[in-house]
Amino acid sequence: MCTFPHAHFSNRGQLIAVKQVSLDSSDPDAAKKEYSHLQGEVELLKTLRHANIVGFLGTSLFQHVVSIFMEYIPGGSIASILHRFGPLPERVLALYTHQILEGVAYLHLNRVIHRDLKGNNVMLMPTGVIKLIDFGCARRLSCLNHTASSSDLLKSVHGTPYWMAPEVINETGYGRKSDIWSVGCTVFEMATGRPPLAHMDKMVALFYIGAQRGSMPSLPNGFSDHAKDFVNITLTW
């Protein structure tokens, strides 16, 4: 199983975040191989430095539990902010969207696809700085957790369909464009408090997006034409 990041102290007393994944112990060789691949990915992610993405620090393996160490982000996720205070005004929405795009552009420049952009994975520091978390190795994490099958897609941390691009649902591949779709869904979420199609059941939304029939919802009246156009363009099939 995969746990959400929690706080931990380093040997130097530094506060860091730790995400843990339990490996399938039934096949130790396969688990060790997958951990080796994960280590390689994290080593690459450690080289990334940007104001709007979380820093990776390293990994460890102990008794079939993989720990991934990351920069600790004081503050809460955008999803938690929306839950507490409701939708964001457009001027704030624009500030956060700009920073999200800066972070995504940097990842894409370094050939890293986020794969799981949504309000839960966008952190807001008390200073107003946005940090993207849970990027890059999301797929490797799901590979490590061998107990999860494709039928568990909707139950998994990365299986919420409301932010998923059509090509992801149809399993024709992740890419920069699928991240852009998810950015649009996250902007819609910040503007309204909920992602597009949230009124639908998860399975219905999954099939609706995957079938690529019908239009995605637009931002409600009260938002500028610029904001509406931005969301419409990002949510283009």
24, 116, 179, 229: the active-site residue = 116
From 129, 137, 143, select the one nearest 112 (Cα to Cα). Answer: 137
User: Residue 116 catalytic?
Assistant: yes
Q: Indicate which residues carry an active-site annotation.
A: 116
